[in-house]
Amino acid sequence: MRNICMLVSYDGTAYSGFQTQPSSVTIQEKMEEAIKLLTGESVKITASGRTDAGVHARGQVINFLTSSQIPIRRWTLAINARLPADIIVNGAAEVDESFHSTRSAIRKTYRYTIRCGRNRDVFQHHTEYHHYAPLDVEKMRQALQYLLGEHDFTSFCSIRSTKQSHVRTLYAATITEWDESIQDIPSKRLVIEITGNGFLYNMVRIIVGTLLQVGEGKRHPDDFKTILLRKERSAAGPTAMAHGLMLWEVMYKEAVKFT
Amino acid sequence: MRNICMLVSYDGTAYSGFQTQPSSVTIQEKMEEAIKLLTGESVKITASGRTDAGVHARGQVINFLTSSQIPIRRWTLAINARLPADIIVNGAAEVDESFHSTRSAIRKTYRYTIRCGRNRDVFQHHTEYHHYAPLDVEKMRQALQYLLGEHDFTSFCSIRSTKQSHVRTLYAATITEWDESIQDIPSKRLVIEITGNGFLYNMVRIIVGTLLQVGEGKRHPDDFKTILLRKERSAAGPTAMAHGLMLWEVMYKEAVKFT
């Protein structure tokens, strides 16, 4: 059997998340259907991370085993011709049989985008969380610093998590501001980018939901230190809405060479 | 009567253009409906330029006369509550009775966006024209230089134009490249921005359609000089697709102060 790996982008708006579940439309289901149309095989694909309902991906990585002999260069176009317009395969690679898109990942980056200003953006509202009132971005940056390094992220993890350990390491957490004002009407896009060795269930969304409270002045940046130490979900703020979140990039021990 | 001016953004995907026409859904119709819901009045709105079917606007300017006494600060939110999600009023202003959004405009900027690379972008495909093969951007920039200044743009104008004069002045024409590669898979976004004192019917789309031929190596940049001199539509290339075009900004003799 060949082990095929693919670099996938999708707009999660219309889907009940990545993973197949009864009576709902998922990315996994659409991709497995496309592969079956192409190869005749019923494969089971594995993703680097299962994005939730409404969450997007720019650089999701999936893999599956197949006995199909289609040359690797032909996979991308062939699969794209069989996928809906909101899912696209950017590239494919044939990888070692030991490669597993979840377990072999060493580093992941998520982005959460906030539109800050009176008005929604008419072109990007499906990938941005709209926040009407101004946010203190400097204070949000201060709060994020407490999360860098190795910590037990239980406070920033859904109580539905089934993971044994909630210890993860964050390598970077930044906020970039873009001025998107239209004439005199102020508008900002804030992109929160977080890179770590792994993420827990709802972790980025809970971090962002708590960060918004800091930006609104409802919490002090130093609260992030205390929240981590409490190790209970109730210590943190609400879970931010799904549609602002995007799985941006996944890195592996040995870089996958997509074609 | 008060003269109310509004700064409007819309995603043109679902519309048959700006201007009301029988048995089709237009931006004008949706806006006039929203104003009627708010004020009870049947007004007729005028726009700085009537965008075609599928064309978008970030900074469209419209105006209309009303006897409504609603304070100017309240218009934006009140109208937005009555508009579909793909049309948004960014701000409103009360202007002098002599103000006319078309005739008072002195300068307009359009942007045309091209996604250059093997794959469409899954998040922005409704506002980008997808071009599979590489483009020679430097040659496209050279071609654009011939259009700067005052010229008769008959060659770059639809034969359906009803304007008496086809002489217009372009002040700037630039191409900005953004690297949008996903890991090893190359992808570029090209933003062509053109500013002038006025634009003819389909003018930007015909310029871009001809520019694509230069980028593909099918025409020499110097052809743009000859095309202008020929003063006939058939001298230029095809009309580029509507969905890559966006009315970006409109400037007036006296800047309108939107709130």
Contact B183/A87, CB-based, under 8 Å? no
pLDDT classification of A103: cutoffs 50, 70, 90: very high
Are A11 and B76 within 8 A, CB to CB?
A: no
Contact (Cβ atoms closer than 8 angstroms) between residue A99 and residue A63: yes
pLDDT at position B48 is 96
Closest residue on chain B to A9 (Cα): B122
B contacts of A259 (beta carbons < 8 Å) = 184
User: In angstroms, rounded to a whole number, what is the distance separating the alpha carbons of residues A139 and A175?
Assistant: 11
Q: In A, residues 208-247, which contact B (CB 8 Å cutoff)?
A: none
pLDDT digits (tens, 9 = 90+) for B180-219: 999 989 999 999 999 999 999 999 999 999 999 999 999 9
Q: Which two tokens stand for residue B2?
A: 């008060």
Q: C-alpha A52: how far from its chain's center?
A: 9
pLDDT category at A246 given cuts 50, 70, 90 is: very high
Residue A58 forms contact with B (CB below 8 Å): yes
Buried b (16+ CB within 10 A) or exposed e, A16-31: bbbebeeeeebbbbbb
Percent of chain A with pLDDT over 70: 100
| Residue A23 confidence (pLDDT) above 90 | no
The reply to whether residue A90 touches residue B9, judged by beta carbons under 8 angstroms, is: no
Cα(A105)–Cα(A249) distance, rounded to whole angstroms?
A: 10
Residue keyed to tokens 């931006």:
B27
pLDDT, tens only, A176-212: 999 999 998 999 999 999 999 999 999 999 999 999 9
Give me the helix-helix angle, B203-215 and B223-230, nearest 10°. 150
A10 to chain B, minimum CA–CA distance in Å?
6
Instruction: Tell me whether residues A80 and B119 touch, CB distance under 8 A.
Output: yes
Position B153 pLDDT exceeds 90: yes
pLDDT at A22: 84
Q: What is the pLDDT of residues A202-240, one digit of tens each?
A: 999 999 999 999 999 999 999 999 999 999 999 999 999
Query: Which CATH number fits the domain A107-249, given the four candidates 2.60.120.380, 3.30.70.660, 2.40.50.140, 1.10.3720.10?
Result: 3.30.70.660
Contact (Cβ atoms closer than 8 angstroms) between residue A129 and residue A115: yes
Ordered by start, the domain boundaries in chain B are 2-103, 107-249
Q: Is B179 on the interface with A (CB under 8 A)?
A: no
Tell me if chain B has a CB within 8 Å of the CB of A13.
Answer: no
Output the six-digit token pair for B157: 């104008």
- Give the pLDDT of residue A56: 98
Of the candidates A6, A28, A2, A25, the residue with the CA atom closest to the CA atom of residue A78 = A6
Across residues A90-96, what is the average pLDDT?
97
- Give the pLDDT mean for B159-180: 96
Q: How confident is the model over B5-30, as a mean pLDDT? A: 94
Q: Which DSSP symbol is given to A63?
A: E
DSSP chain B: -EEEEEEEEE-GGGSS-SS--TTS--HHHHHHHHHHHHHS-----EESS-PPTT-EEEEEEEEEEE-----HHHHHHHHHTTS-TTEEEEEEEEE-TT--TTTTEEEEEEEEEEEEESS--TTTGGGSEEE-S---HHHHHHHHHTTSEEEE-GGGS-TT---S--EEEEEEEEEEEEE--BTTB-EEEEEEEEEES---TTHHHHHHHHHHHHHTTSS-TTHHHHHHHH-SGGGS-PPPPGGGEEEEEEEESS-----
Q: What pLDDT is recorded for position B184? A: 85
Q: How many CB atoms within 10 Å of residue B120?
A: 17
Inter-chain CB proximity A125 and B85 less than 8 Å: yes
How would residue B21 be classed by pLDDT, with cut points 50, 70 and 90? confident
Q: Sign of the CA dihedral B245, B247, B249, B251?
A: positive
Chain A within 8 Å of B119 (Cβ-Cβ)? yes
Sign of CA dihedral A137, A139, A143, A145: positive
Backbone angles phi, psi at A201, to 5 degrees: -60, 120
Residue B239 confidence (pLDDT) = 98
Output the average pLDDT for chain A.
Answer: 96
Examine domains B2-103 and B107-249 and report if their fold is the same: yes
Q: Where are the beta strands (DSSP E) in chain A?
A: 2-10, 46-47, 56-66, 87-95, 105-117, 129-131, 149-152, 167-179, 187-196, 245-252
The mean pLDDT of chain B is 96
Which of A139, A156, A145, A140 lies closest to A229 in space, CA to CA? A156
**Strand partners for B176:** B191
**Per-residue pLDDT, B255:** 92
What is the signed CA dihedral for A144, A146, A147, A148, rounded to 10 degrees?
100
- For the record, the structure tokens of A132 come out as 């009407």
Q: Greatest CA span in chain A, whole angstroms?
A: 60
Asked if B191 has any chain A CB less than 8 Å from its own CB, the reply is: no
* Confidence band of B141 (pLDDT split at 50, 70, 90): very high
Residue-level pLDDT at B64 = 98
Tell whether domain B2-103 is in CATH 3.40.190.10.
no
Cα torsion A211, A213, A216, A219: sign: negative
pLDDT for the residue numbered B240 = 98
The pLDDT tens digits for B81-105 are 999 999 999 999 999 999 999 999 9
B13 touches chain A (CB under 8 A): no
Contact B11 A123 (CB under 8 A): yes
Torsions phi, psi for A137 (to 5 deg): -65, -35
Q: Where are the alpha helices (DSSP H) in chain A?
A: 27-39, 72-80, 137-145, 203-215, 223-230
Active site residues of B: 52
Q: What would the mean pLDDT of B16-44 be, rounded to a whole number?
A: 94
Q: What is the pLDDT of residue A20?
A: 85
Classify A215 as helix, strand or coil.
helix
DSSP-assigned beta bridge partners for residue B173? B194
Active site residue A121: no
Under DSSP, the state recorded for A131 is E
| Mean pLDDT computed over B226-242 | 98
pLDDT grade, residue B22 (50/70/90)? confident
